[in-house]
Amino acid sequence: MPVEVLTREDVEKLVKEVAGKLLEESGLLKRVSDLGASVNKLKAAASTQPPPPKPEPTPKALLADLGEKAKLLDVDLRGDPAILRPKHWLRPEDFRAIGELVKRHGGSWSSEKRAFTLKKAPPNRASPSVE
């Protein structure tokens, strides 16, 4: 009994043909192409709209997010960077929670200052200056 040997390319071609026929007969091919077209329309519509402006992180917004944990800190908003120094030793879970919020607002822990530091947002350069 003779045996026909197929190459990898032959097998891939057969699989593509059979899969294409199944997709076409079931109507899935049309649905997928329609879905692709609607996704492209949505992408085009989204790219024409300007992205919403991101709120500038501010020390006051950070304090609002800290809530009750803000009572554990001495806060100095006068300088740049703003300094949030623990009033006393913080429990690890408090230190971690405060650190995550400070990091989310663009700040960090300074081991030199033994305080959290938060740079204030630079003035908005997008607005035209009046001279």
Q: Is the pLDDT of residue 40 over 70?
A: yes
Shared domain check, 82 and 40:
no
Shared domain check, 66 and 108:
yes
Determine the Cα–Cα distance for residues 1 and 5; give it in Å rounded to an integer.
Answer: 13
DSSP bridge pairs for 109: 116
Q: pLDDT by residue (tens digit) across 53-109?
A: 766 557 777 778 888 888 888 888 887 888 889 999 989 999 999 999 888 888 899
Q: Decide if 120 contacts 82 (C-beta within 8 A).
A: yes
Residue 15: domain span: 8-48
Confidence of residue 131 (pLDDT cuts 50, 70, 90): very low
Identify the weakest region by mean pLDDT among 6-20, 73-87, 95-109, 113-127: 113-127
Shared domain check, 64 and 106:
yes
Shared domain check, 95 and 69:
yes
Shared domain check, 44 and 72:
no
What does 74-123 look like in DSSP terms, one character per residue?
Answer: EEE-SSSSEEEEESSPPPHHHHHHHHHHHHHTT-EEETTTTEEEEPPPPP
Shared domain check, 105 and 68:
yes
Total of domains in the chain: 2
